Structure 1
């Protein structure tokens, strides 16, 4: 099970890294086209550098950014990587800490799962809306619903993560937090 979890984590990190690399390359393409646009002779000689062909790059970077944020927070960022306000949590008995995990985990998990249906209802209208410029490279099939569909996956993954934390707290309790020896 640990090797499967490790392989899935590495795959999720690879997907996030690929999105970051693709966003960076698109950004470099934007810069190249922007500064070569001042040279009228360049697009005449190399039609591939015609600036009007690259309106899609901004929307593509925004698409990658949305996917990177929700993908990363659903599958890559660990709980210990988040900023937490845990002054009270760290200074109570483990039994009370366990209840904090159970109550907050259930609240977050139920809240995220409950928000899936209203979100899907809003997505219903997005199936009609096309992207402004991405259809020039991806075709007419891509809709705004497709771009924001990662949010549903985010809701499911994070709610399952908190449900798993609740299960572990019920089943195994909580371990003592590591104290900083310098404190």
Structure 2
């Protein structure tokens, strides 16, 4: 498990670098616009690109299930067997949806190599390529969740309240 811990630390560090780059770009824009009256065109683009990468990197690789927003009132009110069925069905739906979309998504991202960003001149396939990593992360997460559900292991990690808690 130490290898997985180092992987997590590395992925967290990359997210921190994205946020730091976005913050520095944002601060440069403020300084140049308001102190020197000379706005920089590339800083807005840098902020947008680093924000895009931060969101997809974080959601695809870093956030745990309990970190995502959930609408689970009915799920929590259901008995364990029904929750297991609901979770399994949701995992299968996500797996199928993302797997079906993967070839067309990859094809479109590959097509975008003909375009570049306006200020930084970065090819758009490089910019939007993070979405493929996000999809692969989601597929891996839901595949592992489905395995846990089938084995009836602890697939509800992060559920802090049981249905009994709501009825008290």
TM-score range, shorter chain: 0.7 to 0.9
Conservation of the 8 A alpha-carbon contact between 2:148 and 2:155? no
Conservation of the 8 A alpha-carbon contact between 1:71 and 1:150? yes
Asked if 1:148 is matched to 2:147, the reply is no
Conservation of the 8 A alpha-carbon contact between 1:95 and 1:173? no
Q: Could you say which residue in structure 1 is the equivalent of 2:62?
A: 76
Asked if 1:179 is matched to 2:161, the reply is yes
Q: Distance in 2 between matches of 1:154 and 1:179?
A: 29
Conservation of the 8 A alpha-carbon contact between 2:91 and 2:143? yes
Aligned residues: 163
* CA displacement at 1:68 relative to structure 2: 0.5
* CA displacement at 1:178 relative to structure 2: 4.2
Larger CA deviation: 24-33 vs 7-16 = 7-16
Asked if 1:21 is matched to 2:7, the reply is no
Conservation of the 8 A alpha-carbon contact between 1:105 and 1:166? yes
Q: Distance in 2 between matches of 1:19 and 1:156?
A: 20
Q: Distance in 2 between matches of 1:153 and 1:175?
A: 23
Q: Could you say which residue in structure 2 is the equivalent of 1:130?
A: 116
CA spacing shift, 1:21–1:114, aligned 2, 3 Å: same
Q: Distance in 2 between matches of 1:60 and 1:17?
A: 15
| CA displacement, residues 104-142 of structure 1 (integer Å, 9 cap, x when unaligned) | 10110111111111112222331100111103xxxxxx3
Provide structure 2 residue ranges, at least 5 long, that are not aligned to the other structure: none
Conservation of the 8 A alpha-carbon contact between 2:145 and 2:155? no
Q: Secondary structure at the match of 2:106?
A: helix
Conservation of the 8 A alpha-carbon contact between 1:108 and 1:162? yes
Asked if 1:159 is matched to 2:158, the reply is no
| CA displacement, residues 14-72 of structure 1 (integer Å, 9 cap, x when unaligned) | 1111111111011111111112333xxxxxxxxxxxx37x3211111111011001001
CA spacing shift, 1:58–1:119, aligned 2, 3 Å: same
Q: Distance in 2 between matches of 1:107 and 1:162?
A: 10
* RMSD over equivalenced CA pairs, Å: 2.1
CA spacing shift, 1:15–1:61, aligned 2, 3 Å: same
Q: What TM-score comes out, normalization by structure 2 length?
A: 0.87
| 1:88 aligned residue (41, 57, 74) | 74
Query: For the pair shown, which has the larger CA radius of gyration, 1 or 2?
Result: 1
* CA displacement at 1:160 relative to structure 2: 1.0
